[in-house]
Chain A
Amino acid sequence: MKKIAVFFGISLIIAACGGGADKDTKATTDPYAVKPAESSTGNPSYDPNRGVGKFTKVEVGASLDAAMAANGEKTYGVKCSSCHKLTEEKLVGPGWKGVTSRRAAEWIMNFATNTDEMLNKDPQAQAQLEICLVRMPNQNLTDDDARALYEFMRKNDGVK
């Protein structure tokens, strides 16, 4: 019995040491791990209107960039249209009509590109998940894809 206790003790110590050493590399590969708040990337405190992700300030023109919106529409067709309608009707996810007035560009683009972390941390994303009950898939959009999609959303919301 004693031997068994000693053995378990040892394995616990080993496990504990392993965990400590690996923490940094692990966090990036595990979508469910909660990251500590980033301080060095210009995201000092959490801004619920912006969410968490690389987009802190998105430049949006006064009028529509039609070419960019057309690109966004293409991406919408392949990667988004299965779940999002262009009306207000909820399909799997919410309809897109009016989304640009409900949410900031930064929040939308962060959610589209940094989906898992947003779902783990952002209160508004979590509230939406409680309604839809399907975690939005990370569709591996590039930064340009995300920006173009936002422009397409603007077009959908009537920006000329």
Chain B
Amino acid sequence: MRNIKTIMVAVLGISLLLGFSACKPKNAGNAVSADAAAKAYVAPGKYDEFYNFVSGGFSGQMSVYGLPSGRLLRVIPVFSVDPEKGWGYSEETKPMLNTSQGFVPWDDLHHTELSQTNGEIDGRWIFGNANNTPRVARIDLTTFRTQEIIELPNSAGNHSSPFITENTEYVVAGTRFSLPPDDKNGDVPINTYKQNFKGTLSFISVGKEDGKMDIAFQIQCPGVNFDLSHSGKGKSHGWFFFSCYNSEQANTLLEVNASQKDKDFIMAVNWKKAEESLKAGKGRKQAVKYAHNTYSDKTHSATSEIKTEVTVLDAKDLKDICYMIPCPKSPHGCDVDPTGEYIVGSGKLAALIPVFSFDKLQKAIADKAYDGEYDGIPVIKYEAALYGEVKKPGLGPLHTEFDGKGNAYTTFFVSSEVVKWNIKDLKVLDRAPTYYSVGHLCIPGGDSKKPNAKYLIAYNKITKDRYLPTGPELSQSAQLYDISGDKMQLILDFPTIGEPHYAQAVAADVIKTKSLKFFKIDDNANPYASKGEATAKVVREGNKVHVYMTAIRSHFAPDNIEGIKMGDEVYFHVTNLEQDWDVPHGFAVKGAANGELLIMPGETQTLKWIPTKVGIWPMYCTDFCSALHQEMQGYVRVSPAGSNVPLTFSTGKNLPAATTTADTVKKK
């Protein structure tokens, strides 16, 4: 016993010593101070201070957390089907996942960006990008629903997206994989990358009032991998900055072959000038194919339109629009400080962080301080654009956000830490360990003109020993730091869905008062809506049977349906007649080969069902709605093809008991 005690004391002593000397404690015990729990505590029934919109990575969805509690408030289905909410399963939502390749049920949502006005978060929409089948989504923040998805032609792996300009004039999308353009014959040897593969930057305009997206133009660029981006702001409004790697133009073993050069590039794009070129007719119309899907809160349904043309500008021909800034080495994050003057590049393999100056960049362009060209695009001399370098900040810098007080916070994947440094003197001020291998980070408004820097959230790729083990697959995690003082203080760990990449956060007040409580039934323009039980009906059109059904606490009308025959396609159009907050009804039918419906008050949603067998099929409400929720159920009778059972429907009509028994029917 005594021995164990001695050993424990010794171990404690050593770990304390190590903790202090290395500044990198390796367990939570010495990284969390006693008041941490109080700082992250939000009492039951109390609201959080911030909304945190976190990318769901390979789940394809976007999750919404409250801060500082880390409570999961909602998962918004975006690019992946979600049977729980009927997303991609109801007839109304299926078109949202349509692409030029047809219906795509999964994607990888990497980054999130809240809409801004004058460089400040305005709380209207949030955008997300699909990294696999390249798309951008817009989510409405009154309903917390995906309202629009636009596909991107000439693209693959939409990674440097969905970053926006300071008045949400544009949301951009930069292709990670370069490819032969869509209108060219793509059937070429892969090792003709240098001749045939092109990178594409898309500028998607966003309607000022309605948020409607449209591809305003694309810029065709040399074949490289575009990685991340951010727009200029304030003085640099009108410019966009895109990091890129693989300037080696390798097409295999990029791990080695795209890491040859000391420097890759940050590409600076003067998009205001690009607009002028576009107006001057310098764009080329290109035949392409891409889907544009919109969801209407009036018809409660989506439409998908396939578009066939896009206007392309060529970076090579636009000498006064695109410039390459050399950036060491395989740059990832490309972040612009709140003043718009400093552009921070994070070279994944660099042992320093270069900070570029917008003013110096302008002067370098004016002086033509070039170092040759890269595929026809002027390369600015590194020193001519460089403000300075943060020396030995850590290993593997990835992303930087800002506190609006002159400081930057950069994540380091390899050394598992967040480092706070001063932008002016480039000195490191503080380091905080993360558990483990941090990727992205988020400060509320941290990439806008007005950060609200009370907290910093680190999004980690690896959790290993942080939570109870759950087999080989472990949760990803977020870690919350209080950054209101000089030193960062870890106050909370919380698990996340999928793999979180970028996230955004904003004071709750900006969004919570605008939240919609229900849809007005009078405004419901779904062609299959039943407004009132008297309008509920069942209509046969050939082998299609349309059930116009209503739901209210706690019954469906109709709830007895007969005369369905094998070979029929049944469409349950369910209208929720409730007109109050938080009263959705669910709808499920036995054997349905898709999902459930979850119908918000005042809304109509449709479930398609193809009976597979003669018999009685139950249906019921899936979302507990009242004390008599369990009574909210009904039956559908399915008869053989060609049967003469008439089509009937009813609710609350107890027909005289029939004499046929199941046995006698069977014998026939």
Tell whether, in the assembled complex, residue B580 and residue A137 are in contact, meaning their CB atoms are under 8 Å apart: yes
Q: How far is the CA of A27 from the CA of B46 in the complex (A)?
A: 13
Query: Nearest residue in A to B626 (C-beta to C-beta)?
Result: A134
Tell whether, in the assembled complex, residue A22 and residue B46 are in contact, meaning their CB atoms are under 8 Å apart: yes
Residue with the greatest number of chain B CB neighbours at <10 A, chosen from A83, A135, A140: A140
Asked if B652 is at the interface of the complex by the 8 Å CB criterion, the answer is yes
Question: In the assembled complex, how far is the CB of residue B584 from the closest CB belonging to chain A, in whole angstroms?
Answer: 12
- B532 cross-chain contacts in A, Cβ below 8 A: 77-79, 81-82
Tell whether, in the assembled complex, residue B46 and residue A18 are in contact, meaning their CB atoms are under 8 Å apart: yes
Asked if B38 is at the interface of the complex by the 8 Å CB criterion, the answer is yes
A79's contact among B38, B46, B579, by CB below 8 Å, is which? B579
Contacts A10-B38, A77-B534 hold; do A137 and B522 have CB atoms under 8 A apart?
no
Asked if B554 is at the interface of the complex by the 8 Å CB criterion, the answer is yes
Residue with the greatest number of chain B CB neighbours at <10 A, chosen from A7, A83, A134, A138: A134
Asked if A70 is at the interface of the complex by the 8 Å CB criterion, the answer is no
A134's contact among B520, B522, B531, B554, by CB below 8 Å, is which? B554
Asked if B555 is at the interface of the complex by the 8 Å CB criterion, the answer is yes
Tell whether, in the assembled complex, residue A15 and residue B579 are in contact, meaning their CB atoms are under 8 Å apart: no
Tell whether, in the assembled complex, residue A11 and residue B41 are in contact, meaning their CB atoms are under 8 Å apart: yes
- B366 cross-chain contacts in A, Cβ below 8 A: none
Query: Nearest residue in A to B517 (C-beta to C-beta)?
Result: A140
- B35 cross-chain contacts in A, Cβ below 8 A: 7, 10
Q: How far is the CA of A18 from the CA of B44 in the complex (A)?
A: 11
| Binary CB contact string for chain B from 551 to 582 against chain A (1 if under 8 A, 0 otherwise) | 01111010000000000000000000111100
| Binary CB contact string for chain A from 9 to 36 against chain B (1 if under 8 A, 0 otherwise) | 0110011001100100000000000000
- B652 cross-chain contacts in A, Cβ below 8 A: 91
B627's contact among A81, A134, A137, A139, by CB below 8 Å, is which? A134
Question: In the assembled complex, how far is the CB of residue B560 from the closest CB belonging to chain A, in whole angstroms?
Answer: 16
Q: How far is the CA of A92 from the CA of B651 in the complex (A)?
A: 12
Contacts A77-B532, A78-B521 hold; do A137 and B554 have CB atoms under 8 A apart?
no
Contacts A11-B38, A91-B652, A140-B579 hold; do A82 and B533 have CB atoms under 8 A apart?
yes
Q: How far is the CA of A129 from the CA of B37 in the complex (A)?
A: 43
Q: How far is the CA of A140 from the CA of B601 in the complex (A)?
A: 11
| Binary CB contact string for chain A from 129 to 157 against chain B (1 if under 8 A, 0 otherwise) | 00001110111100000000000000000
Which positions 104-139 of chain A face chain B at CB distance < 8 Å?
Answer: 133-135, 137-139
Asked if B662 is at the interface of the complex by the 8 Å CB criterion, the answer is no
Q: How far is the CA of A7 from the CA of B40 in the complex (A)?
A: 13
Q: How far is the CA of A11 from the CA of B577 in the complex (A)?
A: 43
B553's contact among A3, A7, A92, A140, by CB below 8 Å, is which? A92
Tell whether, in the assembled complex, residue A139 and residue B38 are in contact, meaning their CB atoms are under 8 Å apart: no
Asked if B256 is at the interface of the complex by the 8 Å CB criterion, the answer is no
Tell whether, in the assembled complex, residue B579 and residue A133 are in contact, meaning their CB atoms are under 8 Å apart: no
| Binary CB contact string for chain A from 74 to 104 against chain B (1 if under 8 A, 0 otherwise) | 0001110111000000011000000000000
Query: Nearest residue in B to A80 (C-beta to C-beta)?
Result: B532
A83's contact among B37, B518, B534, B552, by CB below 8 Å, is which? B552
Asked if B136 is at the interface of the complex by the 8 Å CB criterion, the answer is no
* A residues contacting the other copy or chain, number (CB 8 A): 24
**Interface of B (DSSP majority class):** loop
Query: Nearest residue in A to B530 (C-beta to C-beta)?
Result: A78
Contacts A3-B34, A7-B38, A134-B628 hold; do A78 and B531 have CB atoms under 8 A apart?
yes
Which positions 40-62 of chain B face chain A at CB distance < 8 Å?
Answer: 41, 43, 46
Query: Nearest residue in B to A115 (C-beta to C-beta)?
Result: B580
Tell whether, in the assembled complex, residue A14 and residue B534 are in contact, meaning their CB atoms are under 8 Å apart: no
- A79 cross-chain contacts in B, Cβ below 8 A: 521, 532, 577, 579
Asked if B460 is at the interface of the complex by the 8 Å CB criterion, the answer is no
Query: Nearest residue in A to B43 (C-beta to C-beta)?
Result: A15
- A140 cross-chain contacts in B, Cβ below 8 A: 518, 520, 579-580
* B residues contacting the other copy or chain, number (CB 8 A): 31
Tell whether, in the assembled complex, residue A82 and residue B550 are in contact, meaning their CB atoms are under 8 Å apart: yes
Asked if B583 is at the interface of the complex by the 8 Å CB criterion, the answer is yes
- B627 cross-chain contacts in A, Cβ below 8 A: 133-134
- A135 cross-chain contacts in B, Cβ below 8 A: 553, 626
Contacts A11-B41, A77-B532 hold; do A92 and B555 have CB atoms under 8 A apart?
yes
Query: Nearest residue in A to B533 (C-beta to C-beta)?
Result: A82
Contacts A79-B532, A92-B555 hold; do A7 and B580 have CB atoms under 8 A apart?
no
Question: In the assembled complex, how far is the CB of residue A73 from the closest CB belonging to chain B, in whole angstroms?
Answer: 11
Tell whether, in the assembled complex, residue A78 and residue B577 are in contact, meaning their CB atoms are under 8 Å apart: yes
Q: How far is the CA of A82 from the CA of B632 in the complex (A)?
A: 13
Tell whether, in the assembled complex, residue A138 and residue B628 are in contact, meaning their CB atoms are under 8 Å apart: no
A18's contact among B43, B520, B533, B579, by CB below 8 Å, is which? B43
Q: How far is the CA of A14 from the CA of B557 in the complex (A)?
A: 50
- B579 cross-chain contacts in A, Cβ below 8 A: 79, 137-140
Question: In the assembled complex, how far is the CB of residue A113 from the closest CB belonging to chain B, in whole angstroms?
Answer: 11
Q: How far is the CA of A7 from the CA of B552 in the complex (A)?
A: 47
Tell whether, in the assembled complex, residue A92 and residue B43 are in contact, meaning their CB atoms are under 8 Å apart: no
Tell whether, in the assembled complex, residue B577 and residue A7 are in contact, meaning their CB atoms are under 8 Å apart: no
- B531 cross-chain contacts in A, Cβ below 8 A: 77-78
Query: Nearest residue in A to B520 (C-beta to C-beta)?
Result: A140
Tell whether, in the assembled complex, residue B534 and residue A81 are in contact, meaning their CB atoms are under 8 Å apart: yes
Tell whether, in the assembled complex, residue A137 and residue B628 are in contact, meaning their CB atoms are under 8 Å apart: no
| Binary CB contact string for chain A from 51 to 83 against chain B (1 if under 8 A, 0 otherwise) | 000000000000000000000000001110111
Q: How far is the CA of A34 from the CA of B636 in the complex (A)?
A: 43
- B580 cross-chain contacts in A, Cβ below 8 A: 137-140
A133's contact among B46, B577, B628, by CB below 8 Å, is which? B628
Question: In the assembled complex, how far is the CB of residue B524 from the closest CB belonging to chain A, in whole angstroms?
Answer: 10
Tell whether, in the assembled complex, residue A137 and residue B34 are in contact, meaning their CB atoms are under 8 Å apart: no
Question: In the assembled complex, how far is the CB of residue B36 from the closest CB belonging to chain A, in whole angstroms?
Answer: 10
Tell whether, in the assembled complex, residue B521 and residue A14 are in contact, meaning their CB atoms are under 8 Å apart: no
Which positions 204-228 of chain B face chain A at CB distance < 8 Å?
Answer: none
Q: How far is the CA of A56 from the CA of B37 in the complex (A)?
A: 50
Q: How far is the CA of A91 from the CA of B653 in the complex (A)?
A: 12
Q: How far is the CA of A138 from the CA of B578 in the complex (A)?
A: 8
Question: In the assembled complex, how far is the CB of residue B356 from the closest CB belonging to chain A, in whole angstroms?
Answer: 44
Q: How far is the CA of A15 from the CA of B37 in the complex (A)?
A: 13
Q: How far is the CA of A91 from the CA of B555 in the complex (A)?
A: 11
Q: How far is the CA of A14 from the CA of B41 in the complex (A)?
A: 10
- B535 cross-chain contacts in A, Cβ below 8 A: 77
Tell whether, in the assembled complex, residue B552 and residue A137 are in contact, meaning their CB atoms are under 8 Å apart: yes
- A77 cross-chain contacts in B, Cβ below 8 A: 531-535
Q: How far is the CA of A138 from the CA of B35 in the complex (A)?
A: 43
- A18 cross-chain contacts in B, Cβ below 8 A: 43, 46
Contacts A78-B522, A81-B533, A137-B579 hold; do A7 and B43 have CB atoms under 8 A apart?
no
Question: In the assembled complex, how far is the CB of residue A149 from the closest CB belonging to chain B, in whole angstroms?
Answer: 13
Which positions 602-644 of chain B face chain A at CB distance < 8 Å?
Answer: 626-628
Could you write out 18 A-B pairs with CB less than 8 Å apart?
A7-B34, A7-B35, A10-B35, A11-B38, A11-B41, A15-B43, A77-B532, A78-B532, A79-B532, A79-B577, A82-B552, A134-B628, A135-B626, A137-B552, A137-B553, A138-B580, A139-B578, A139-B579
Chain A interface residues toward B at CB < 8 A: 3, 7, 10-11, 14-15, 18-19, 22, 77-79, 81-83, 91-92, 133-135, 137-140
7 smallest beta-carbon distances between A and B, as pairs: A77-B532, A78-B532, A140-B579, A82-B552, A139-B579, A138-B580, A15-B43
- 9 more A-B contacts (CB under 8 A) besides A22-B46, A78-B521, A139-B580? A7-B34, A10-B35, A79-B521, A81-B532, A82-B533, A82-B577, A137-B580, A138-B579, A139-B578
